[in-house]
Amino acid sequence: MIGKVYKITNLDNNKVYIGTTVQPLKNVLSLYQSQYKSYLKNNHKKKVSYYEILKSNNVKIELLKEIVNNYCNFWYDLISLQIQYISEYKSRCVNKRLPPLPRKIST
């Protein structure tokens, strides 16, 4: 399994969302766009921070970092990278909260 830290950018206002996945990036963006369209139609589900990015159709998704799952602290390291990138893009980032870190396993 390959973990990815990605950035979705709204090219109209330069705001970003930082996320993690083990899925192909094109699948992530398609899923988010589908969820956002469903939110607009139903308007009863909880709003999530990446909807701010998807208000425009002028968005792009890009890989920031990739790690291979060949050790026991894979999720800890992946989420740690996400937190690092959220901090790096803080002034432009729509992420409202930092994700919780999984427990690190001692080896």
- How many other C-beta atoms lie within 10 A of the C-beta of residue 102? 14
Q: Is the torsion defined by CA of 100, 32, 8, 28 positive or negative?
A: positive
**pLDDT reported for residue 74:** 87
Q: Per DSSP, what are the bridge partners of residue 17?
A: 8
**pLDDT reported for residue 38:** 86
pLDDT in tens, 53-96: 998 889 999 999 999 877 778 888 999 999 999 999 999 999 98
pLDDT in tens, 4-39: 999 999 999 999 999 999 999 999 999 999 989 888
Backbone angles phi, psi at 28, to 5 degrees: -65, -50
The reply to whether the predicted model has a pTM over 0.75 is: yes
Q: Is the torsion defined by CA of 86, 91, 53, 8 positive or negative?
A: negative
